[in-house]
A and B are shown apart, each in its own frame.
Chain A
Amino acid sequence: MTDTAVRVTGLTKKFGAFTAIDDVSFTVERNKIYGLLGRNGAGKTTLMQLLTGQQFATSGTLEVFGASPVENARVLQSLCFIKESQKYPDSFRPEHVFANAPWFFAHWDAAFAARLVDDFRLPLNRPIKKLSRGQLSAVGVIIGLASRAPLTFFDEPYLGLDAVARQIFYDRLLEDYAEHPRTIILSTHLIDEVSNLLEHVLVIDEGRILMDQDAEQLRGTASTVVGKKTDVDAFVAGRDIISRDGIGGLASVTVAGLGETERTAARAAGLELSPVSLQQLIVQRTTSTTSESMTTTDAWSARS
């Protein structure tokens, strides 16, 4: 119980006839960095809104720090949710936002926030509506980092942030997390950029959890096996096949869960192994049309 930040059981959220979250169950352990990944409209934002008490579940239960977050001051005080498009009062300037932050976040570190303002070169006294898209994102990122909330959500926090600013975000996030461990849920499309930061990965697709796995396990084990079709087929038979491709007598199959001995066996069989990045893996897993039933060869034979 003490190691669990979030526990979700059979959670469903419907908007009319549309099921945004479909019977989802998972737990989030404390003090880890999670990646919440998935395609557009997969249900990432809805899920985070449910976890932060901004939406009501249609059915199922969800606990954040042991209780429902809805209208629960104790739980909500320990959350920080940075949205893609954060809204501020029109008359506000960034300095006002940061001046108000301690009211909402018990662990707010003003000195850290000031350092981040320097890092991001954020003009403190320019009206919020005059800020560029990237500067507006920087305001959110600074709030998210300096609030040091026990559970922080970043929902696509860096719309418009340039590459330098994104790197600053990743670096400060890691440094501060190392010193002040807390639970962080990072939702993003830039999987390659964040993959090394994540400890655990949740992949959501069409409202369902597709993967709930240790990032290191995911990263280390999936490989693409390339070689003569007959050899490849013999090697991958009975394995967890993620995707399959081929041309002529050559086949290229991505499989999960290859150990060191199996890798050696594959090389001995004259097969080539190449790594699969987290991003490639997730793209292959969430491209639902090709992977499962239709293989390239099936498609060919169907055409002829």
Chain B
Amino acid sequence: MIEAGKPIFVQIAEQIENDIIDGVIEEETPVPSTNEFAVFHRINPATAGKGVNRLVEDGILYKRRGIGMFVATGARQRLLGARTEKFRGNFVGPLLNEAAKLGITPEQVAKMIGESERRSSTS
């Protein structure tokens, strides 16, 4: 839900993105209206609208006159690409920085990841 420290419209945009990535909202299907978002998340409609418009600017959503906002074709693929880049910056970079601080080499990190994955898949 809505948390502090991040502009709310960014959070709204990210939640819609997540729903598209997870397949909750499919391409060429409508997303809820700005007012529905506002009432559901208990936020100002103008703020919700800002989040939706951000996705329109990015070409993820498009407007059908008189009907509402729809998910564009290819939106999921584009979001996955952008998120992968973000993942690299937000997680892989800091991970390697912390590892370097502790004297762990990237090879050792890769090994750790392999081990963790095996452990979680057997459990």
Binding site for B on A (CB under 8 A): 32-33, 170-171, 174-175, 177-179, 196-199, 215-216, 219-220, 223, 274-277
Since A174-B42, A215-B44 are in contact, a sample of 18 more A-B pairs with Cβ atoms closer than 8 Å, ordered by chain A residue number, is A170-B42, A171-B42, A174-B38, A174-B44, A178-B34, A179-B35, A196-B8, A196-B43, A197-B43, A199-B44, A199-B46, A199-B47, A216-B7, A216-B47, A219-B8, A220-B7, A220-B10, A276-B4
User: Cα distance A20–B47 when bound, in Å?
Assistant: 33
Residues of B within 8 A of A220 (CB): 6-7, 10
Q: Are A171 and B9 in contact (CB under 8 A)?
A: no
Contact A174/B9 with A179-B35, A196-B2, A277-B4 known, Cβ cut-off 8 Å: no
Interface residues of B in 1-48 (CB under 8 A from A): 2, 4-10, 34-35, 38-39, 41-47
Instruction: Show the binding face of B for A, using Cβ within 8 Å.
Output: 2, 4-10, 34-35, 38-39, 41-47, 50
A33 contacts across to B, CB distance below 8 A: 44
Chain B residues with CB under 8 A of A198: 44
Cβ–Cβ contact A178 & B6, under 8 A? no
Give the docked Cα–Cα distance between A177 and B42 (Å): 12
In the bound complex, residues from chain B placing their C-beta under 8 Å from that of A275 are 4-6
Q: How far is the CA of A174 from the CA of B35 in the complex (A)?
A: 9
Contact status A178-B35, CB under 8 Å: yes
The residue among B2, B8, B42 with the most chain A CB atoms within 10 A of its own CB is: B42
Are the CB atoms of B39 and A197 closer together than 8 Å? Answer: no
Q: How far is the CB of A269 from chain B (nearest CB, A)?
A: 13
Query: How far, in whole Å, are A8 and B40 apart by their CA atoms in the complex?
Result: 35
By a CB distance below 8 angstroms, the chain A residues around B45 are 174, 177-178
| Whole-angstrom distance between the Cβ of A120 and the nearest chain B Cβ | 18
With contacts A219-B8, A275-B4, A277-B4 known, is A197 near B35, CB below 8 A?
no
Bound Cα distance from A26 to B88, whole angstroms: 46
- A175 and B42 contacting across the interface, CB-CB below 8 Å: no
**How many Å from the CB of A273 to the closest CB on chain B?**
8
For the complex of A and B, 7 pairs with smallest distance between CB atoms: A275-B5, A220-B7, A178-B35, A275-B4, A196-B43, A199-B44, A199-B46
Looking at the assembled complex, report how far the CB atom of A287 sits from the nearest CB atom of chain B, in whole angstroms: 20
Identify the interface centre among B4, B7, B43, B47: most chain A CB within 10 Å of its CB.
B4
- In the complex, what residue of chain A is closest to B47 when comparing beta carbons? A216
B5 and A178 contacting across the interface, CB-CB below 8 Å? no
Between-chain CB contacts (< 8 Å), 26 pairs: A170-B42, A174-B38, A174-B39, A174-B42, A174-B43, A175-B39, A177-B45, A178-B35, A178-B39, A179-B35, A196-B42, A196-B43, A196-B44, A196-B47, A197-B42, A197-B44, A198-B44, A199-B47, A216-B8, A220-B7, A223-B5, A274-B5, A275-B4, A275-B5, A275-B6, A276-B5
Q: How far is the CB of B33 from chain A (nearest CB, A)?
A: 9
Minimum CB–CB distance for B36 against chain A, Å: 8
Is B39 in contact with A171, judged by CB distance below 8 angstroms? yes
Inter-subunit contact B7/A219 (CB<8 Å): yes
Report chain B residues within 8 Å CB of A177.
Answer: 45
- Looking at B6, B10, B47, the one whose CB has the most chain A CB atoms below 10 A away is B47
Shortest distance from the beta carbon of A31 to any chain B beta carbon, whole Å:
9
B39 CB contacts on chain A under 8 angstroms: 171, 174-175, 178
The residue in chain B whose Cβ has the minimal distance to the Cβ of A224 is B5
Query: Which residues of A lie under 8 Å from residue B47 when comparing CB positions?
Result: 196, 199, 215-216
- Closest B residue by C-beta to A179: B35
Complex Cα gap A179–B38 (Å)? 11
Of A175, A216, A223, A276, the residue contacting B50 (CB under 8 A) is A216
